Structure 1
Amino acid sequence: MRLAVLGAGAVGPGAAALAVSRGHEAAIWSPRGGGTHGIGSSLSVQGVLSGTARVSVAVDVARALDRASAVLVSVPPHALGPLLRRIAPMLAEGVPVLLAPSHSLAPLLLDRLLARRGLRVPVAALAVPPVVAERLAGDEVRILALPEAVEIATVPAASSEALARLCSDLFGMAFVHLSDALGAALAAHEPVLQSALILGNVTRIEAGEAWDQHRQMTPAICRLAERLDAERLALAEAYGHAVPSLAAGLHRMANVPVGPLPVMARALAALRPAPGLRGLDATQLAQSVTYGLALWLRLAAARGVPMPLTGAAMAVLEAMWGASLSADDLLEGLDFSRLRQLLRDGHPRD
């Protein structure tokens, strides 16, 4: 297969290298232009994978999409909406789009944009990326870990099993298909852990100190994370989803034994550094708060599910940052009264 990778931070090149290692082709495009600087005709790969991965660099998005068998989109959440609006007129009938990771209910936004064209394109929401990676310099990428399994859901929902098989072919690990894309939004554990860590380390963040997230998963932070996670799991159950707990998610991402969170934190800290936020930049909170906690609270209100601690965490973060953190552009145009039908069938085509 030929994989078009849109996004050239760490996950995009890492996923491209993984797909190439499995016999596929990959073309990488950077929405900002500079992300592919230093990449010629190959990536130098270190870590879990090692060697050279031959890739092509696309000078524009149209060339990246040309002849693609599948499209992988991996950009920060605040950049995802603008990118989906940009590529929607250029996508081809039937060529699946993989959002890795998916943020909020972005698959429904892309489906709505495609419905305007009468186009049917299966859109996959991956709860977590297929690689944990970091960009080193230029053409160098280090694959830090490969999750043992990734939750996947699609719009329309009937495409889930086929796209799970496609992703397994591309990336190798198991893809666990969920009944709908809401499950993928609720399966992401990162907002829980990040919110707890940010609340407990805000003075370090504001002072611009260097700090390691795993080393700061103290027993108190872990207790807070577990209570926030309990509310997430209850919300998922209310919507008919059984999603992995925070501990299970950390195990899948880093292959550390499941156990008490502080014990898992020590194992994670021994594996690799995990630098924390530096500076009160609201865009850095987007993935965890705007497209995580805020979405969950909106879903909870619709079903009457109590999430008092999540609501309190959201209010405290907004107070400390001095800004609203709930403006989710990925929900634009979404009719929540038709959410179940849209998740199952997508938007109607003429």
Structure 2
Amino acid sequence: MKITVIGGGPVGLTYCALLQQGGHSVRLWSQTHPDGLNQRFDGTFSGDHVIPGAGSLEDAVKDADVVLLARCAQGMQDVLDRLAPILDGQTVIFSAELSFGSIYLAHALMRSQARAGIVSWSTTVATAQRRDGVVRVGTVRDVIDMAVSGGMDAQDGLRLCQELFGDRFRLKSSPALIGMSNLNPPIHLANSLANLTRIERAEDWENYQCITPVVGRMIEALDTERLALAGRFGFEVRDVFDHYMMTFPGIRRGSVSEMAQQVYERAPGTMGPRSLETRYITEDVPFGLIPLCELGRRSGVPMPLHEAAIGTLSTYLGRDFRAQNGMLETVVAELQDLLGAATS
């Protein structure tokens, strides 16, 4: 199968390697690596992979069966606006459904009268970081929730994902549910706030080790608000405890902090961010959390901890995170239409 991966970060590069290992024809469209690259990997798997570049976005899409979006959320709107008019029956996979980008793409496809199948994943297939030019693959997840839209048959979408990355996907009813299932934004928000000076001073710190009992308690409380929002629309989404159990098979169930310490002890070396420009903040807050808060306000579900944590981080950094999400109004309006009277 011919797949174009859009996004040259560590996760996007890991997808290219995994797909090549599966015998697929892969190209990368990335402004950072326009001509492709030879990339070394270590961790869960190791070796060198030659990843060809795709040239222009038009070329990247034209000959592809599947377009796999692993781009940072800040650049998502521009890519989707450019992508929608040139799609012609391909399947677009969102890895992961952080920004409700699939909702935005469906709206853009309707405007441009183009067609595409859309698949939303609740999280990434793999975790990965780049250090000193090497991509370290932390884990390949066993279970990933997914949903389809754009008129795509659900079973066709499931079979496609299985062909690409194996039998690890579970079908869910709605991309809105998938968007509410992403646990990374609240986890990253709590850990970033508690370790903000480490990030600012570019210190080396272990991500999972620093999910201490106080950080874990905040993550659990944020999760309670997220679950209440999902429940408002009749969605059953996995909680943070199941998230850890599914992401890291073999750990013992406990508090969030206890499970995070097990992850650290088993495989140290997953480092926390060393810059205030980390995706933990610049992506997860405006694109992952603010849409949930706005949906909560419009549907009468209070999310005071989310609001307070975002407000605190905004004050620390002197930023208006809401203004940084140009998709927000379209996404929330489309979600209201999709979810119907529950938001009125």
Q: Normalized against structure 1, the TM-score is what?
A: 0.87
Q: Out of 147, 155, 158, which is 1:153 matched to?
A: 147
| Distance change in 2, residues 1:95/1:317 (3 Å) | same
- Corresponding residue for residue 178 of structure 1: 172
Deviates more, 1:47-56 or 1:225-234: 47-56
Q: Unaligned regions of 5+ residues in structure 1, if any?
A: 345-350
Q: Out of 187, 200, 204, which is 2:194 matched to?
A: 200
Q: Percent identity?
A: 28
Secondary structure in 2 matching 1:8: coil
| Distance change in 2, residues 1:160/1:56 (3 Å) | same
In structure 2, distance between residues paired with 1:269 and 1:22: 29
| Distance change in 2, residues 1:269/1:334 (3 Å) | closer
- Corresponding residue for residue 348 of structure 1: none
Counterpart residue type for residue 323 of structure 1:
R
The question of 1:281 aligning with 2:277 is answered yes
In structure 2, distance between residues paired with 1:49 and 1:279: 27
The question of 1:63 aligning with 2:59 is answered yes
In structure 2, distance between residues paired with 1:232 and 1:5: 30
Deviates more, 1:204-213 or 1:237-246: 204-213
Secondary structure in 1 matching 2:144: strand
CA contact 2:204–2:272 (8 Å) conserved in 1: yes
- Corresponding residue for residue 21 of structure 1: 21
CA contact 1:105–1:331 (8 Å) conserved in 2: no
- Quote the offset at 1:136 in angstroms: 5.5
Matches within 5 A, 1:216-255: 216-255=210-249
In structure 1, distance between residues paired with 2:214 and 2:178: 28
Q: Out of 104, 107, 112, which is 1:112 matched to?
A: 107
- Corresponding residue for residue 326 of structure 2: 329
| Distance change in 2, residues 1:142/1:82 (3 Å) | same
CA contact 1:29–1:64 (8 Å) conserved in 2: yes
CA contact 1:199–1:317 (8 Å) conserved in 2: yes
- Quote the offset at 1:184 in angstroms: 1.4
Q: Normalized against structure 2, the TM-score is what?
A: 0.89
- Quote the offset at 1:2 in angstroms: 1.0
Matches within 5 A, 1:81-160: 81-92=77-88, 94-135=89-130, 141-156=135-150, 159-160=153-154
| Distance change in 2, residues 1:256/1:83 (3 Å) | farther
- Quote the offset at 1:248 in angstroms: 1.6
In structure 1, distance between residues paired with 2:244 and 2:280: 21
| Distance change in 2, residues 1:198/1:142 (3 Å) | closer
- Corresponding residue for residue 183 of structure 2: 189
- Quote the offset at 1:160 in angstroms: 3.3
Deviates more, 1:239-248 or 1:215-224: 239-248
Count of aligned pairs: 337
Counterpart residue type for residue 150 of structure 1:
I
Counterpart residue type for residue 66 of structure 2:
A
Deviates more, 1:152-161 or 1:166-175: 152-161
| Distance change in 2, residues 1:45/1:36 (3 Å) | farther
> What root-mean-square deviation, in Å, do the aligned CA atoms of Structure 1 and Structure 2 show?
2.4
In structure 1, distance between residues paired with 2:280 and 2:264: 22
Counterpart residue type for residue 3 of structure 2:
L
Secondary structure in 2 matching 1:96: strand
The question of 1:259 aligning with 2:254 is answered yes
- Quote the offset at 1:193 in angstroms: 1.0
| Distance change in 2, residues 1:203/1:46 (3 Å) | closer
| Distance change in 2, residues 1:210/1:44 (3 Å) | closer
| Distance change in 2, residues 1:272/1:300 (3 Å) | same
| Distance change in 2, residues 1:156/1:59 (3 Å) | closer
Counterpart residue type for residue 305 of structure 1:
V
CA contact 1:147–1:173 (8 Å) conserved in 2: no
- Quote the offset at 1:5 in angstroms: 0.8
CA contact 1:107–1:154 (8 Å) conserved in 2: no
CA contact 2:93–2:120 (8 Å) conserved in 1: yes
- Quote the offset at 1:66 in angstroms: 3.1
Secondary structure in 2 matching 1:255: coil
Secondary structure in 1 matching 2:271: coil
| Distance change in 2, residues 1:55/1:66 (3 Å) | farther
Counterpart residue type for residue 223 of structure 2:
D
In structure 2, distance between residues paired with 1:283 and 1:3: 25
Q: Which has the higher contact order (CA 8 A, sep 6+)?
A: 1
Q: Unaligned regions of 5+ residues in structure 2, if any?
A: none
In structure 1, distance between residues paired with 2:279 and 2:135: 24
| Distance change in 2, residues 1:35/1:225 (3 Å) | farther
In structure 2, distance between residues paired with 1:283 and 1:15: 19
| Distance change in 2, residues 1:287/1:10 (3 Å) | same
In structure 2, distance between residues paired with 1:56 and 1:201: 38
